[in-house]
Amino acid sequence: MASNQDQPWLLENGNLKGLSKEHRTGRTAHNMSSSSLRKKSDLTLVSKIPCSLLRQFLTNLQEVMLGTKLSVLFPAIPLAIVAQCFGFARPWVFALSLIGLMPLAERVSFLTEQISFYTGPTVGGLLNATCGNATELIIAIFALAQHKIAVVKYSLLGSILSNLLLVLGTSLFCGGIANIRREQKYDRRQADVNSLMLLLALLCHLLPMLFTFAAGASASVTSDPSLHLSRASSIVMLIAYTAYIVFQLWTHRQLFEAQEDSDDDGVVSDEAPVIGFWSGIVWLIGMTAVIALLSEYVVGTIEEASDSWGLSVSFISIILLPIVGNAAEHAGAVIFAFKNKLDITLGVALGSATQIALFVVPSCVIIAWIMGINMDLNFSAIETGSLALSILAVAFTLQDGTSHYLKGLVLLLCYIIIGACFFVTESPLHHSNIVNVGLKTSNEAVFGAYN
């Protein structure tokens, strides 16, 4: 019979010392980024508790709740629940829920990495690829359940734009300023792969919009062909994402592994797990449930927050939701840019954008299809154009394998002007299918002129 040392997933004390090199290497950029916000917990008092079960529970509780620099934000979670239960102002529920999602997103990354110590880097990579943007996917599902398709499209578009322009732009700008006298280089092969996948996603977004425009020009406007094309494109994107995962975790894994150095001051080095396998599973389920609860609050109160703050739903969904929801991951990317480790920064920003574009967006289309909701990939002209220009700007920025602060500044300025565009844009929220109203109006004007 195999011993517990041969089956580390059976151990629950989290103090494994003999992990093989395979389990300690191959950390992704997302893992490294999240590690920059972690801190070691002082277990002196907990270790003196005589009851082993209580000691183990308190150890796990301290590692999960206090093992991050964002632990000060955890009180926002019970405050959001209390505000919802006692009927406080809806904008307060919205704001507290957003703040509460910040540490939860970082803790999900922590727990998936802890589980990967027992399952190996490949299964851990698959888990991270699935849960890496769990917050966005859960918010999208609750918005779909309430038929708020516009919120789904806005929030997912905002996540892609935020990663490509805000996160990458801030990282390159800050990294360029901090290392102004040093040459900043990165492996452009990873950037090329992600840029190629993003261009595929852009094509799948462009075609339904162009198809609708062409159908309108021929006086045969109908949403069914665009919807069918969107669903077919979503299946193609999911196939591409599957190939991307195989490429990333098996065939060309070396391109995506983050190289760790011994001089990472302030970064917790996870040479051994701090919680057990089953504890990690339970905590991950619990964290996901809390994220689902807060996501429901966010979706249910976004309209009231929009009316109270005088901001459009499109601006809140595209700008505020992604910034707050991914603040922990974004902060890690900037920290590593300061340390002139742009490969990790690019892995976080481009990896998240690729995952949302090729996995989360088509998954929402398929889930809506299963739920009997007609969600397509036909975004408006402004939204699709913003996405296209952002992807092209990033692709041109990263084509030479070197970086400086001016590249980051240009990307930041692109994000600012896009944000200003959505700040002054009022878009309908309750349309089950966002149709390019501008193109339709233009077509009607053209037909009127001919007639």
Residue-wise pLDDT tens digits, 111-157:
888 887 887 666 766 777 677 778 888 889 999 999 999 999 999 99
Say if CB 299 and CB 136 are below 8 A apart: no
3-class secondary-structure state, position 132: coil
Residue 444 pLDDT > 60? no
C-beta atoms surrounding 163 within 10 Å: 28
Residue 433 pLDDT > 60? no
pLDDT at 335: 85
Homologous superfamily (CATH) for 29-256+275-426: NCX, central ion-binding region (1.20.1420.30)
Task: Give the pLDDT band (50/70/90) at residue 2.
Answer: very low
Residue 326 pLDDT > 80? no
Give me the mean pLDDT over the 38-53 stretch. Answer: 70
Residue 383 pLDDT > 60? yes
Say if CB 435 and CB 378 are below 8 A apart: yes
Give me the mean pLDDT over the 165-189 stretch. Answer: 89
Token look-up 């709740």 returns 65
Give me the mean pLDDT over the 390-407 stretch. Answer: 92
Nearest CA-CA partner of 404 in 187, 166, 171, 176: 176
CA 1 to chain centre: 43
Q: What is the pLDDT of residues 198-221, one digit of tens each?
A: 999 999 999 888 887 776 645 444
C-beta atoms surrounding 180 within 10 Å: 10
pLDDT at 31: 58
Task: Give the pLDDT band (50/70/90) at residue 379.
Answer: confident
Helices (H), 162-222: 168-178, 188-217
Rounded Cα distance between 354 and 298, Å, is 24
Say if CB 113 and CB 270 are below 8 A apart: yes
Q: What percent of the chain has pLDDT over 70?
A: 76
3-class secondary-structure state, position 312: coil
Token look-up 């406007």 returns 221
Burial class (CB in 10 A: 0-12, 13-18, 19+), 259: exposed
Torsion, Cα 303 226 355 110, to 10 degrees, reads: 40
* Strand spans (E) along 30-174: none
Q: How many residues does the chain have?
A: 451
Nearest CA-CA partner of 27 in 105, 128, 118: 128
Give me the mean pLDDT over the 247-256 stretch. Answer: 81
Amino acid at 53: L
pLDDT at 262: 47
DSSP string, 29-90: HHHHHHHTTB-----TTGGG-S-HHHHHHHHHHHHHHHSBTTGGGTTHHHHHHHHHHTT--H
With residue 364 as reference, give the H or E element that holds it. Answer: helix 361-371
Task: Give the pLDDT band (50/70/90) at residue 1.
Answer: very low
Q: What is the pLDDT of residues 156-174, one digit of tens each?
A: 999 999 999 999 999 999 9
pTM, to two decimals: 0.81
**The pair of three-digit structure tokens given for residue 266, joined into one six-digit string:** 């302030």
**The pair of three-digit structure tokens given for residue 197, joined into one six-digit string:** 């996948």
Say if CB 337 and CB 175 are below 8 A apart: yes
Say if CB 298 and CB 102 are below 8 A apart: no
**The pair of three-digit structure tokens given for residue 27, joined into one six-digit string:** 């950390």
Say if CB 66 and CB 90 are below 8 A apart: no
Give me the mean pLDDT over the 284-302 stretch. Answer: 90
Phi, psi of 89 (to 5 degrees): -55, 135
pLDDT at 210: 86
Token look-up 């602060």 returns 405
CA 312 to chain centre: 22
Token look-up 């632990």 returns 71
3-class secondary-structure state, position 402: strand
What angle is formed at CA 74 by the lines to CA 69 and CA 80, rounded to 5 degrees?
A: 150
Residue 255 pLDDT > 80? no
CA atoms within 13 A on the CB side of 188: 12
**The pair of three-digit structure tokens given for residue 28, joined into one six-digit string:** 């992704």
Nearest CA-CA partner of 26 in 105, 110, 116, 106: 116
Nearest CA-CA partner of 57 in 275, 289, 287: 275
